[in-house]
Amino acid sequence: MNDASESGDPSSHKNFIEVEVEKDFATKPELAGRHVVTRFPPEPNGYLHIGHAKSICLNFGLAKTYSGKCNLRFDDTNPTKENEEYVNSIKTDVQWLGFQWDELFYASDYFGRLYEWALQLIREGHAFVCDLNADQMRDYRGTLTEPGRNSPFRDRSVQENMDLFERMKNGEFVDGERTLRAKIDMGAANLNLRDPVLYRIMHAHHHRTGDAWCIYPMYDWAHGQSDSIEGVTHSICTLEFENHRPLYDWFCRTLRIYHPRQMEFARMNLSYTVMSKRKLLQLVNEKHVSGWDDPRMPTISGLRRRGYTPESLRLFCDKIGVARFSSTIDVIILESSIREHLNAIAPRFMAVLDPIKVVLTNYPTDQTEWMEAVNNPEDPNGGSRQIPFTRELYIERDDFMETPPSKFFRLKPSGEVRLRYGYIIRCDEVVKDSAGNIVQLNCTYDPSTKSGSPSAIERKVKGTIHWVSASQSSEVDVRLYDRLFISETPDEAPEGKSFLDNINPNSVRVVRARVELELAKQAAGARVQFERNGYFCADIKDSIPGVPIFNRIVTLKDTWAKIASKG
């Protein structure tokens, strides 16, 4: 359904928007000598999410590709839902993603201009003050199959409209008492053209304009004119605005102002994820998550805290291409993007998430051997480190099975396994407590099998497992995150249920892990691979120096199979 899948490699092909932009510049005289100007226009009523990242990459990407400009504009026309915290978080997120706006604008800076334009429409007979309340207006509006009816106030004189509109502005009426509406066509097939509201009365404090205004422009009235003021050439929005385009065009035409081109692409949906700000806000307010930046949230700040890199999010946006029609992207593509990036850059460490003790009964009590471990096999300059090997070790509890199935190649009674960077060991005895729980494995090591030594090459075992020294390791908290929703389409809840009923009750599990000493020294924000376990990031909020708390970003794919075959 998208250009990437239609044409193969997305990076070598233009998306449909780029094709149109090039066509416009080649054919439209009004664009001669100009450069592409785009904008990213968030409403500061919440934190940005991964869907916004798509729009950001697209808008800033176009400006970059065509040596143009991309502005950040806050569409702040809804004072009751917007605030400064959201404004600041949006700026932070855009920059963190790796983009810098050419100019910073606020729709609220245009309140004066928009008011003047409204007066122009009234003077020219294209707008009127309407006294219908919301219910009546809905009633007059008609339906998709029935035309609407003219408001009884539609034929007010210019003089009366000028007077009433000024009094609306001056605060003489209560919220909802009157509106200013465009006079277009109540019989239009497109409902957006049935005398749309331009202004509503709202006695609300605005985070930037304070109490200067008590009438606020509607989205449609503000958006296109803001684009026009800023000289936007291509105003890119999501598909639900396609049938607002005739109105966008009508305003620019009727006002006789510079006329940008609105183009639509499909809103990105992601499986196992909700993306509407309203629902994300509900998750936060009702404390289903710890905040907008909870590492399970699909917000940019949540993904950042989880450990996603800006590169991985840009790669993701690149991979999915620009869709013309609505589509749901498999969250696996997002996960594979971070794996791809971290596979290249993340240093490897050994960490045991669910430790069980191994005692090597034939290993000298006070001996420590320093084993050479490669930091990152994918990075030739990654170097290596020395890790301590001792008589007492920890391995992962599920790397041992007392009565394993036939294809189990890890540790089992009388079985052998290789300890990564170490020796081959054999399990001789399983020690249990009085309740029958396994508490320790007594093993022997084979001194001739030291990793890297010539004699080790002779001896092959099928499994390799990770481990840490019991005496020379640290303990850290690790948060094992899983998807926040159990349903692939959490928005689709059955009658009487909501998306909240699709929340995964086990989306996080905290474990106390045994890890290499080096891991306890990781700074907040450090991203690492725990061998055979996944990619992890030291939480940027809760870690303190010397005591990192690790978030699991994503598991490794086919981990076990891969490591086992390397054995």
Residues acting as catalytic residues: 43, 267, 277
Residue 310, phi then psi, degrees to nearest 5: -60, -40
Judge contact between 324 and 238, C-beta under 8 A. Answer: no
Question: Which does residue 418 bind out of ligand ATP, Mg ion, none, counting CB within 5 to 8 angstroms by kind?
Answer: none
The answer to the question of residue 277 lying near ligand ATP (CB under 6 A) is yes
Contact code string over 174-213 relative to ligand ATP, x by CB under 6 A: ----------------------------------------
Does residue 394 contact residue 358 with C-beta atoms inside 8 Å?
yes
Answer for which of 22, 24, 43, 131 binds Mg ion (CB under 5 A) is 43
Task: Tell me: does residue 276 bind Mg ion (CB under 5 A).
Answer: no
Burial of 116 (0-12, 13-18, 19+ CB in 10 A): exposed
User: With contact defined as beta carbons under 8 Å apart, do 316 and 474 qualify?
Assistant: no
Applying CB under 5 A, does 281 fall inside the site for Mg ion? no
**Residue 305 CB, nearest distance to ligand ATP (Å)?**
19
Smallest distance from Mg ion to CB 52, Å: 10
Closer to Mg ion by Cβ: residue 14 or 208? 208
Q: Tell me: does residue 42 bind ligand ATP (CB under 6 A).
A: yes
* Burial call 90-112: b when 16+ CB within 10 Å, e when fewer: bbebbebbebebeeebbbbebbe
Is the CB of 120 or the CB of 238 nearer to ligand ATP?
A: 238
Residue 238, contacted partner among Mg ion, ligand ATP, none, CB below 5-8 A by kind: ligand ATP
The CB-of-237 to ligand ATP minimum distance in angstroms stands at 5
| Interatomic CA distance for residues 340 and 459, integer angstroms | 33
Q: Is 307 left (phi over 0), alpha (psi -120 to 50) or beta?
A: left
CA distance 198 to 120: 13
SS3 448: helix
Interface region with ligand ATP, contact rule CB under 6 A, candidates 250-258, 275-283, 304-312, 380-388? 275-283
Asked if residue 271 binds ligand ATP (CB under 6 A), the reply is no
Q: Which residues contact 136 (CB under 8 A, 6 or more apart)?
A: none
Q: Give the binding-site size for ligand ATP (rule: CB under 6 A).
A: 14
Return the amino acid letter for 267. Answer: R
Cα Rg, the chain, nearest whole Å: 31
Report the residue from 73, 267, 296, 514 that binds ligand ATP according to the rule CB under 6 A. Answer: 267
Residue with smaller CB distance to Mg ion, 114 or 164: 114
Nearer to ligand ATP, 83 or 238 (CB): 238
Task: Determine the 3-state secondary structure of 155 from DSSP.
Answer: coil
Closest CB to Mg ion among residues 43, 160: 43
Is 428 a residue that touches Mg ion (CB under 5 A)? Answer: no
What φ, ψ does residue 369 adopt, rounded to 5°? Answer: -110, 140
Using CB under 6 A as the criterion, what x/- string covers residues 44-83 for binding ligand ATP? -------xx-xx----------------------------
Q: How far apart, in whole angstroms, are the C-alpha atoms of residue 108 and residue 127?
A: 21
260 belongs to the binding site for ligand ATP (CB under 6 A): no
Cα-Cα-Cα-Cα dihedral of 301, 307, 310, 316, to 10°?
Answer: -100
- Residue 283, interface with ligand ATP (CB under 6 A)? no
Residue from 83, 92, 238, 290 in contact with ligand ATP (CB under 6 A)? 238
Choice from 94, 114, 232, 275 touching ligand ATP (CB under 6 A): 275
Enumerate the β-bridge partners of residue 81. Answer: none
Q: Report which residue type is found at 261.
A: R
Query: Strand, coil or helix: what is 546?
Result: coil
Name which of 336, 268, 258 is nearest 298 in CA terms.
Answer: 268
Does residue 510 sit in helix, strand or coil? strand
By CB under 5 A, residue 238 contacts Mg ion: no
Q: Identify the residue among 237, 519, 528, 556 touching ligand ATP (CB under 6 A).
A: 237
Q: What is the DSSP string of 424-454?
A: EEEEEEEEE-TTS-EEEEEEEEEGGG-TTSH
As a 3-state breakdown, the chain gives helix, strand, coil percent values, each rounded to 5, of: 35, 25, 40
Tell me the residue nearest to ligand ATP as measured from the CB.
Answer: 51
- The entry of Mg ion, ligand ATP, none that residue 275 binds, CB within 5 to 8 Å by partner kind: ligand ATP
Nearer to Mg ion, 42 or 415 (CB): 42
Q: Which residues bind ligand ATP (CB under 6 A)?
A: 41-43, 51-52, 54-55, 237-238, 267-268, 275-277
Binding site for Mg ion (CB under 5 A): 43
